Amino acid sequence: MTVASYRSVFRPGLFEGTTAVVTGGGSGIGRCTAHELASLGATVALIGRTARKLDAVVDEIAASGGRASAHPLDIRDEDAVRAGVAAILDAHGRIDALVNNAGGQFPSPLERISAKGWDTVVRNNLTGGFLMAREVYCQWMNEHGGAIVNMVADMWNGMPGMGHSGAARAGMLNLTETAACEWAASGVRVNAVAPGWVASSGLDTYDASVREQFARLKRVVPLQRFGTESEVSSAIVYLLSEAASFVTGTCIRIDGGVPNARHTWTLHGSNPRSRAAMAFDGFHLASTPKALEGL
């Protein structure tokens, strides 16, 4: 029986002999990226707070012929991050890439966000990523080089309804630009990706009032659809690859053109003959989020 595997656009063996760390690797974009990196030969170290979810992805990758290990920890905990990076180095001997994917937020207008809620989101989306990047750099990349990709979001011109996340993501972009300069002499490249509305399992975490907006949101995307996890993963893989050897301190948007939409231009429905409107989905285990079924 043929075992299904990731259908990457990148050449086989691209990351053979390397180790990549993926935070938030138990679900969504992190899970997809871990699968693609493993399919290209990398040994993947998965980080997240729920051991059960990480172990499930490790088993999936093994079933597809890849190599992965699980390292449950909270990226907001400085001591846990320091110990976790050391454990990965003990297990695999090197860290060539870091995908700072973990994060999370909840919808709320600014006036209703408590200090605790603000701090939780900022620690998830900014502080944890900083701690991971710092420890990977200090414990390995400072002497050996490497590549880091940080997750931001479509926070251009503000993020009404999620101001805590927008502020944290904008901070992560600035951190990316700073680290790209400070760590360049060590042969470390630091970039970011900014997904827009992506058909990922994270959509199912929002309450009904938010999920009711998804059909409308698709219509305000110039490409008239949600993105796929694979489309985000492929951008991440490019930035980690040798093809991006002279790329650092930049951010790739994966948003279907949402920030380019203007009230002076009426968006039209997608043309079924347009290749631009067609989705790429190379992830053999991808599934449609329940929140998008029927849309």
CB 84 within 8 Å of CB 91? no
Q: Tell me: the pLDDT tens digits for 184-212? A: 999 999 999 999 999 887 776 766 766 67
pLDDT at 211 (0 to 100): 67
Residue that wins the pLDDT comparison between 4 and 37:
37
State the Cα–Cα distance between residues 70 and 252, nearest whole angstrom.
Answer: 28
Which tokens hold the place of 257?
A: 């053109």
The DSSP element (H or E) to which 189 belongs, if any, is strand 188-195
* Ramachandran category for residue 161: left, alpha or beta (phi over 0 → left; psi -120 to 50 → alpha): left
Number of H helices, E strands in the chain: 10, 7
pLDDT at residue 286 is higher than 80: yes
Average pLDDT of the residues of the chain: 93
CB 80 within 8 Å of CB 132? no
pLDDT at residue 294 is higher than 70: no
pLDDT at residue 113 is higher than 80: yes
pLDDT at 1 (0 to 100): 42
The angle formed by the CA atoms of residues 55, 58 and 62, to the nearest 5 degrees, is 140
pLDDT > 90: percent of the chain: 79
pLDDT > 70: percent of the chain: 94
> How many alpha carbons lie under 13 Å from residue 63 in its C-beta half-sphere?
12
pLDDT at residue 292 is higher than 90: no
For the beta sheet containing 97-100, the strands, ordered from the edge strand earlier in sequence to the opposite edge, are 67-72, 43-48, 19-23, 97-100, 146-151, 188-195, 251-254
pLDDT-based confidence at residue 276 (cuts at 50, 70, 90) = low
Which tokens hold the place of 277?
A: 């409107």
Q: Tell me: the pLDDT tens digits for 229-247? A: 999 999 999 999 999 999 9
List the chain domain ranges. 19-292
pLDDT-based confidence at residue 142 (cuts at 50, 70, 90) = very high
Q: Tell me: the pLDDT tens digits for 247-272? A: 999 999 999 999 999 989 988 876 76
pLDDT at 273 (0 to 100): 67
- 3 state DSSP class of 255: coil
Q: Which CATH architecture has domain 19-292?
A: 3-Layer(aba) Sandwich (3.40)
**Poorest-confidence range of 14-28, 33-47, 260-274?**
260-274
State the Cα–Cα distance between residues 198 and 237, nearest whole angstrom.
Answer: 17
